[in-house]
Structure 1
Amino acid sequence: MKALVVGGTGPTGPYILEGLKERGYEVTIYHRGLHEPDDLPEVAHHQHGDPFNLDTLKEDFSRAKFDLVISMYGRLRYVASVLSGKTERFVGIGGSAAYISPEYAEDPIAAQSLPIPMNHPTYENRDINPFGYAVANSERRLMEMHERGEFEASLIRYPTLYGPRTPRQWLWPIMRRYIEGRRKIIVPGDGSLIFPTGYSENIAEIVLLVSDKPEAVGKIFNAVDSRTHTIKNFIKLVGKILDYEWDIIEVSHPIGYQLAKGYAPEKSKMLDNTSLKTLLGYKDVVSVEEGIKRTIEWILNNTDSFDQSIESLLGNPYAYEVEDLVVKTLTNSNKELAPLFEKVQNQPAIQEFRGGQY
């Protein structure tokens, strides 16, 4: 059996390559050659090319034949069109960016329900969100090719990853504060925001399951850890692992989102992965707590890799002076509100309320 992995050098790639080898595949990896991780498994064929260029792909795979293609990098629609007729099975990697924001949906209220199902509307208008549209359009093209019988396709929508080698490492702004001895850390609102996260080894397991199971053919899956935490609890978990006491500051003003950029979302988002469990029998390989611990260890051993290019992906301002002013302002505001709080507490309705059935 022959398998082609387009990409394969990122957070999930090495686990997928190793899993394919264990399954008896003769593996070819195809990528631009910009990143060659030390722990990249030896494969039968290691080919460099440009998966973003249609002409290059046509030239590189003019005589190719595979049993399985996993497209993780480059332009999915280009890879799919070039490999049409050259593989029986095609697994495409998309992302939750394809899902349309509630404000643009036909039914904005229904579109805000959580978790987000696989049939949630995706972007169909480039002008609304060019990136989201590009992701959604490539996904549609892939599944249309499946419907035409060009190959048996499955689509996996990736979450926000964490783990070794993750470029957009959302734990880094938290860890940088720890490294710099910063105790105060801002969370927007009350810190109860959640967002779809996935430890790299868990998401790789999902890709392998989808590649293995005939039940996955023609299906779209949300890839996400089975369990997660609020952003406030993630920060507490980091502190527990490091034996480091944070001073977590809840900020309801919009400035809180700017100060927490890179590690906290602006809105809660959760993906439905029920079909992974019921259809494919998926279970997390690594618990979220263990995954965070391993990620912390990797970050501490690779702090030099977090250069300006990574910081620009995250966008955190590290505006500690501003954070301190925000904390001071909130403290003064709370002092001013204290008498009003006491006044409300002394209202007869509050004093007489004892709870009970509705």
Structure 2
Amino acid sequence: MTARQTALVVGVYRGFGSPDEVFPLGMPVPLPHGASLVGDGEEFRKLRMIRVTEEAVFEQHPKAIHLRYPRLYGPRQPLPREWPLVRRALDRRAHLVVADGGLTVKSQGWVGNAAHATLLACDAPPAALGGIYNVADSSALTIAQIAEIVADELGHSWELVSLPYDLAVPARPLVGSWSTTHRVLDIGPTVRDLGYQDVLAPTEAWRAAARWLADHPLERGGALEQRLGDPFDYEAEDRLVAAWKDVRQDLGAAVAGIEWIREPNYGSAYVGNRPNPGVTHKRGSLNS
């Protein structure tokens, strides 16, 4: 880092560690750049200290440029959190358990994109001095989308088995939180003031990250893998998936026996290539 440049993580925002602190539950999407920061009552001391550190930096260096990094992915990460996906793809797992459809979206940054933002900050115009900038890829993918990309890059495909979060135990390392709420950052000022653009688009960046990690795998059962919190207990996962499919079959039979006054449908504005339940379709209609 130069004397005028510092970096910390984006956990400084209120609700990042405790989504239930904000109303309605979870952080807005995207989270405004100027959103409230964690307060003195934040449960996680680490997050409180991030805010305190930012304040201390600007007290001593009011013309510093401060970068907030999200979770990074790609080559040479000290703790590659994408390994649970890569290892399962390499092991040719038939299914992958995801929580709540795997629809959680979090801003992340490919290491090459983050490095590019850092270099832009080194050459930033005077107007950017004293600024705080979120650094992340320009667009964010869901966990399910990332899982599809990783598997495809490694010549594999799998069934994504969605369970409610409280039952989706194997998905915890992927979610990284007790909640599947989103964490999407506003990087508008970074684009405007620093001229940031992705060096590599997220879809290709995730492919590159998966390929690199497949070529440089973690030691199975080693210290790094254990820090990820994933036991890779495939036997237990298989039992969970089998139990869930049995429950779904029983529930499906029960639901089929429910009689509706009028079957709910998607509404008159529905557009799609599948039938709108409970609606008589006519040729030429948007959903026919």
Shorter-chain TM-score range: 0.7 to 0.9
Match for residue 281 of structure 1? 195
Q: Which runs of 5+ in 2 are unaligned?
A: 271-288
2:166 is equivalent to residue 251 of structure 1: no
Pairing partner for 1:198 from 89, 105, 109: 109
Pairing partner for 2:121 from 176, 199, 210: 210
Question: In the TM superposition, what is the alpha-carbon distance from 1:164 to its structure 2 partner?
Answer: 0.6
2:277 is equivalent to residue 350 of structure 1: no
Q: 1:334 to 1:167 in 2, by over 3 A?
A: same
Pairing partner for 2:204 from 263, 287, 290: 290
Alpha-carbon separation, structure 2, partners of 1:254 and 1:146: 45
Question: In the TM superposition, what is the alpha-carbon distance from 1:180 to its structure 2 partner?
Answer: 2.4
Q: 1:285 to 1:101 in 2, by over 3 A?
A: same
Question: In the TM superposition, what is the alpha-carbon distance from 1:230 to its structure 2 partner?
Answer: 0.5
SS at match of 1:248: strand
Corresponding pairs, count: 265
Considering Cα pairs closer than 8 Å and 6+ residues apart, tell me whether 1 or 2 has the greater RCO: 2
Rg larger in structure:
1
Pairing partner for 2:27 from 95, 112, 115: 112
Q: 1:318 to 1:255 in 2, by over 3 A?
A: farther
2:215 is equivalent to residue 301 of structure 1: yes
Match for residue 141 of structure 1? 56
Q: 1:255 to 1:334 in 2, by over 3 A?
A: closer
Pairing partner for 1:327 from 223, 228, 241: 241
Given that 2:154 and 2:211 are in contact with CA atoms closer than 8 Å, whether structure 1 keeps it comes out as no
2:94 is equivalent to residue 180 of structure 1: no
Alpha-carbon separation, structure 2, partners of 1:191 and 1:110: 18
SS at match of 1:261: helix
Output one character per residue of 1:313-356: Cα deviation in whole Å (capped at 9) or x when no partner: 31112122221121122111111112232234x523117x6832
Alpha-carbon separation, structure 1, partners of 2:244 and 2:149: 25
Determine what percentage of the aligned residue pairs are the same residue: 24
SS at match of 1:348: coil
Question: In the TM superposition, what is the alpha-carbon distance from 1:110 to its structure 2 partner?
Answer: 8.3
- Give me the CA root mean square deviation: 2.5
Output one character per residue of 1:132-175: Cα deviation in whole Å (capped at 9) or x when no partner: 1122211111122234xxxx201111011111101221210111
- What's the TM-score, normalizing by structure 2? 0.83
SS at match of 1:243: coil
Q: Which has the higher strand share?
A: 1
Output one character per residue of 1:159-204: Cα deviation in whole Å (capped at 9) or x when no partner: 1111110122121011111222322211011110111210001011
Alpha-carbon separation, structure 2, partners of 1:228 and 1:104: 19
Given that 2:15 and 2:21 are in contact with CA atoms closer than 8 Å, whether structure 1 keeps it comes out as no
Q: Which runs of 5+ in 1 are unaligned?
A: 6-67, 70-89
Alpha-carbon separation, structure 1, partners of 2:240 and 2:21: 38
Given that 2:5 and 2:122 are in contact with CA atoms closer than 8 Å, whether structure 1 keeps it comes out as yes
Question: In the TM superposition, what is the alpha-carbon distance from 1:98 to its structure 2 partner?
Answer: 1.6
Alpha-carbon separation, structure 2, partners of 1:340 and 1:197: 41
Match for residue 98 of structure 1? 12
Alpha-carbon separation, structure 1, partners of 2:158 and 2:10: 31
- What's the TM-score, normalizing by structure 1? 0.68
